[in-house]
Amino acid sequence: MKKIITISLSIFLLCTLFILACTKIGDIAGAGSETTNCFTGIVVSADGSPAANAIVQLYPSSFDPVKNPELSDSFVTTTNDRGVYEFKDIDTGRYNIFVKNHTDETRALISNIHAIIDTVEVPEAKLDEPGAVKVMTSENMNSTTGYVYIPGTPIFSFINTGCKPAVLNAVPAGVIPEIVISTTNSQSTSVLRHNITVKSADTIVAANPEWSYYKRIFLNTSETGVILTNNIYDFPVLIRLNNSNFDFKDAKPDGADILFTTTNNKVLFHEIERWDSSAAQAEIWVRVDTIYANNARQNIVMYWGNPLASLSSNPNMTFDTALGFQGVWHLSEDGASTAFDATANSYHGTPYGMSSASAVKGAIGIARSFNGTSSYISMLNTSESKLDFPENGYYSMSLWVYADTIDSIYHAIAGKGHEQYYMQFKCFKSGKATWEFVEFHDQKGWEYTQDSTPPAPGAKQWLYLTGIRSGKQQWLYINGEKVVDTAAVMAGTSYARNTLDNFMIGSYGRSVTIPYSQGKSFFHGRIDEVRVCSVVPSDDWIRLCYENQKQNDALVKFDD
């Protein structure tokens, strides 16, 4: 009997010690009732090997590093030689695991672990080089008491004066559930943004909480994108949205809540050329203030998902006449509708001989189809306008063109009259097709720059043409590359320069009789994105236009 009593007493003492070992040790904001929960997990280095002696901290998921007390020693541990750690005596609740390695300053974060059972096996924490979050706050945020923080971590930053961004440094790579704003003299908080994806050695911007969604759009000018030799300024970047890179149901049906900013949260002008949520297709032009050469990480930010936002599409400022855009026609409307000029000049085009069927798939969204016999577009009242350039002036014209057939007839693509300047397609009887940019000179004739860059123009293929007049120099570009840098002359010494024609697309609009009869030269095929500018763009600018606007866009890359 004495032996039985001794054994029973020993069992009792062991149970008592176990209960004492699993009771709550410290009280931290966010923890729940007392339990015997335990966490165990493993930490690995970036190469997958066990991370020994890494510091592991356990935080309640609502932990505020400014207002809350310091962590109890029981909520800080280190990994063993196998990278394993363990926390005992955890109250029921939700927690974050924050890991740091002082040797190489790598970090890891495991969020939202629920302590509801005796032992919780925490997902593997992989250390990596941290990133940063640049937090843009409003002007009325108190810079004396205000701060931003990541709940459940030691990461915070007080708000700077002068509306400068607050920067959260050493943020573990991965998805950060929330970034919160608060003040030291108030218990109220406001979530600035949910689910921020931070990449290793990268800086992400957190701003505009009124918008539920955001995505970074990278502009790659490195060797893997569009190679530039110089920076480009005030460039209208084409952004194509589809169901592979955008969920249309999260935005307004007309895209009115779309917003674009720089990484410093400067709002960028944009124009929605087309927004078709039912077909999950959109084309948007965004005026980017600077595109840096040889840079794969520069980016702009797109926001959407704000039910209170109003339409901010602004074609006039996206294609600002002060930057030299004098006429920009996307040709994306219904085939029989007015062809709207995106610039403030409002040189809108009236279609002739066209129907709703004239709206077809283009190089950029929707284009216009011309039947080769009667259809064209006339920009009325442009004979004396900003499209009226003098001889040896400084201007450019660019467009996308697609010939339905190859024949031996001259076909006007676009221009301001046969005796001023124009682009045309022509095919000699030998069958050699050429593209041509022409400027007429009074009592001299037609200075033309033409090329049949192999392969010679063929039917049913999109090409990007750019004609440049720079004083007495004249150049022709095909698909972003300069192919001709001299002009030949077709004599016309007895002919006067005629500046009375309106700007036309798809025809000269009147019958041409000099130096021989060629009729109205109707174009047979598709034309898209016609631009006339009163400046001479650089080779980099022209190449960037082509590489950005072609179907396999080499400039724009959406963040994963």
What is the number of other CB atoms lying within 10 angstroms of the CB of residue 478? 18
Q: Which residue has the higher pLDDT, 259 or 410?
A: 259
Please identify, among 85, 100, 126, the residue that sits at the C-terminal boundary of a domain. Answer: 126
What integer pLDDT is reported at residue 432 of this predicted model?
66
Residue 163, pLDDT > 90, answer no
H helices of 412-493, where? none
For the chain, counts of helices (H) and of strands (E): 3, 38
| Bridge partner residues of 9 (DSSP) | none
Q: What pLDDT is attached to residue 140?
A: 59
Task: Give the alpha-carbon dihedral of 350, 353, 359, 364, to 10 degrees.
Answer: -60
Confidence of residue 15 (pLDDT cuts 50, 70, 90): very low
Within a domain: residue 370? yes
**Would you list the DSSP string of 252-292?**
-TT-TT-EEE-TT--B--EEEEEEETTTTEEEEEEEEEEE-
Please report which confidence band the pLDDT of residue 131 belongs to, taking 50, 70 and 90 as the band edges.
very high
Q: Is the pLDDT of residue 528 over 80?
A: yes
Q: Does any domain span residue 20?
A: no
CA Rg, the chain, in Å?
Answer: 33
Q: Left, alpha or beta for 324 (phi > 0: left; psi -120 to 50: alpha)?
A: left
Check residue 31 and report its DSSP letter.
B
Average pLDDT for residues 136-159, to the nearest whole number?
84
Same domain for 319 and 341? no
pLDDT of residue 72: 81
Same domain? 379 vs 460: yes
Looking at per-residue pLDDT, the higher value among 197 and 428 belongs to 197
Q: What is the pLDDT of residue 2?
A: 38
Q: What is the mean pLDDT of residues 534-542?
A: 98
300 and 354 inside one domain? no
The average confidence (pLDDT) of the chain is: 90
Q: Residue 3 pLDDT more than 90? A: no
Is residue 28's pLDDT more than 80? no
Its domain, for residue 282, covers 215-323+552-558
For residue 290, the model assigns a pLDDT of 98
Element (H, E) at 17: helix 2-21
Give me the pLDDT at residue 89, please. Answer: 86
Domains in the chain, number: 3
Judge whether 148 lies within some domain: no
- CATH (domain of 345): 2.60.120.200
Q: What is the pLDDT of residue 522?
A: 97
Any domain includes 309: yes
The answer on 358 and 423 residing in a single domain is yes
Give per-residue pLDDT as tens, 195-218. Answer: 999 999 999 989 998 999 999 999
Residue 17 has pLDDT above 70, yes or no: no
DSSP states of 35-103: --EEEEEEEE-TTSSB-TT-EEEEEETT--TTTSPPPPGGGEEE--TTSEEEEEEEPSEEEEEEEEETT
- What's the token pair of residue 511? 């019958």
Note the pLDDT of residue 137.
78
DSSP letter at 128? B
Question: Residues 463, 386: one domain?
Answer: yes
Does residue 190 or residue 282 have the better pLDDT?
Answer: 282
Cα–Cα distance measured from residue 51 to residue 41, given in angstroms and rounded to the nearest whole number? 12
Report, as an integer, the average pLDDT of 236-245: 97
* Cα→Cα distances 545→225, 368, 538, 553, Å: 13, 20, 11, 10
- Is the predicted pLDDT of residue 11 greater than 50, yes or no? no
Residue 33 clears pLDDT 60, i.e. is over it: no
Q: Do 114 and 256 share a domain, yes or no?
A: no
Give the end of a domain, one of 82, 98, 126: 126
Judge if 319 and 458 occupy the same domain.
no
